[in-house]
Structure 1
Amino acid sequence: MGSSLDIYNEHFGLRERPFSLQPDPDFMFWSPMHRWTYTMLEYGLLTKAPITLITGEVGAGKTTLLQYLLRTLGEDLKVGLVSNAQGDRGELLRWVLMALGWPADPATPYVDLFAQFQTRLIEEYAQGRRVLLIFDEAQNLNRSALEELRMFTNINSNKDELLQLLLVGQPELRDIVLRPDMTQFAQRVSAHFHLKAMDEPTVRHYIAHRLKVAGSQTALFSMAASELIYQATGGIPRLVNQLCDLALVYAFTGNHKRVMRITVQRVLDDGVFFGGGTREQERQVK
């Protein structure tokens, strides 16, 4: 007997699950907002911006964009990805070194670690490569950590760009950078874009796109169902995925071949869709 997901996919004529919560570049959907965001990412890299800043709500698709970007980078960039880095400046530098695959002995003093870091950057540059440090969930970095990152960019001199920083985080990151005491850091930000939620027509296209990538040959969601999904999720991709997946489960359980508005409403009424921060929206659409 096949697994539940095999049966689920077979019932709807799908090759794979269309609404997984895990970021997957294969399902990349190019909404206007995502195109603008990706353009700013490319702009920051091509212009060798010291710091590029991308912000957006939780689940807006920032990590998926990052993963897509990582697929396209050439051999002239050495990339280090740092997620949820915390701690003092010494710990931050160790996070950076480990992300780049370089030694980061806990017993080594900060000054020596920084000297090693600078030497490695110069060595990479001599071999025709720049170093790109990507900080995901960068809203968790405190002021001293951000100031340390600004100091990292001082390693660059004149036209020699050894290091670029890409900071990706929730809207709080933008608020931190715009504080009066962060002026010096803000002046190093050469490219910035805020990834907003999708509007209702975009949500409909988003749902159709993911279904098509997963192998669907028909429109599995009615327009009314998609409209209710938008209302309940606010157009946040991760929440859209979660609610769509639950709606497909409910439709499968009821032996229905399409998801209608009543199916989505039943998911909401049963309280199985938590949809972080959207409870008020759910009450309003009932």
Structure 2
Amino acid sequence: MSHSFSSYLEHFGLHQRPFSLTPDPEFLFWSDAARGAYAMLQYGLATRSPITLLTGEIGAGKTVLLQHFIEEAEDDDALSIALVTNTRPNTRDILQWLLPELTKSDLSEEGKFLKVQEFLIQEYNEGRRVLLVIDEAQNLSPEALEELRMLTNINLGKEEVLQLFLIGQPELRDHVRRPDLVQFAQRVAANYHLPYMKPETVAHYIAHRLKIAGGRSSIFSKQAAMLVYEATGGVPRLINQLCDMSLTYAFAQNEAVVKRATVQSVLDDGIFFAPVQRA
């Protein structure tokens, strides 16, 4: 195709790419599942749940939902939020996530724990509670999860001074159910699993993103949207990828609408790579 990649924007009357792969809260689509997950996060925060779990398959939309939640929560002056997004297997850097200055400290593990306890109590005395949000939490080792549980034991009377939000792939739930983590599991007071989209939801999702980007919600035909669902299994990240390619193909063919045949052409050319989905 000789046309430049971004030229389809003008062709379809769009002011930005509707199907960018980068999570963007502006495009957040409030499906029933997204509303349920968001309500659970709000419930966990409001009830001061020690540990809240949000799980979902890769590309199911956890990150954009979390970004929106944090943007809203940051308006609360009585809340201090620490966000961790670079977890690695067997990580033991839990304490310095809450107090970065501990990276330069030569204190013992016990000394660092006491420092964190002092910090949490100080935040509480100043009218703030602390929320530690860990994305990709399925990468945490059992030792790290146990260390997190010990942190949630720091409280003043009946008041929780630290809450945990753990966001991750489905195996996070399996980790938490391990026999040696029964005490951790008992502290999980709120949890939600974000599923992939159903066929009718995919059609609404595509129309929503087109509208947010300034275009007509009918740029994709119903038949095209159905094929997008069949090819992606309802995974938002894959939907975005296939729809973006389909818009490029439709533009190159000077079509005003993305038809089922357009999407099929993308699939036939083999440029859309869809990983095998879990059952």
TM range (shorter): over 0.9
Question: 1:147-170 deviations in whole A, cap 9, x for unaligned?
Answer: 111001010243221100000000
TM-score calculated relative to the size of structure 2:
0.93
The equivalent of 2:77 in structure 1 is 75
Q: Find runs of 4+ consecutive structure 1 residues off by over 3 angstroms.
A: 3-6, 86-90
Unmatched 5+ residue regions in structure 1? Answer: 282-286
- TM-score normalized with structure 1 length: 0.91
2 CA distance for matches of 1:272 and 1:32? 32
Match of 2:267 in 1: 268
The AA in structure 2 aligned to 1:35 is R
Per the alignment, residue 111 of structure 1 pairs with 110
Q: Deviations over 1:155-195 (max 9, x none)?
A: 02432211000000000001111222221111000000000
How far, CA to CA, are the matches of 1:180 and 1:90 in structure 2? 21
Percent pairwise identity: 55
- Look up the SS of the partner of 1:81 in the other structure: strand
How far apart in 2 are the matches of 1:225 and 1:147? Answer: 48
Per-residue CA distance 1:124-151 (angstroms, 9 max, x = gap): 1111110000000000001111111100
Counting matched residue pairs gives 275
Q: Which moved more, 1:122-131 or 1:38-47?
A: 122-131
Counterparts in 2 of 1:107 and 1:151: CA distance versus 1, 3 Å? same
Query: In the alignment, what sits opposite 1:32?
Result: 32
**Match for residue 212 of structure 1?**
211
Give per-residue Cα distances to partners, 1:88-132, cap 9 Å, x unaligned: 67523223423xxx5431533222221211111111111111000
Report deviation, 1:5: 5.6
Q: Distance in 2 between matches of 1:265 and 1:115?
A: 60
Tell me: CA distance 1:252–1:152, structure 2 relative to 1, closer, same or farther (3 Å).
Answer: same
Matched with 2:51 is 51
SS of aligned partner of 2:167: strand
Q: How do 1:93-242 and structure 2 match up within 5 A?
A: 93-98=95-100, 102-105=101-104, 107-242=106-241
Distance 1:91 1:68 in 2: 26
Give structure 2 stretches of 5+ with no counterpart. Answer: none
RMSD, aligned α-carbons: 1.9
Paired residues of 1:137 and 1:169 also in contact (CA < 8 A): yes
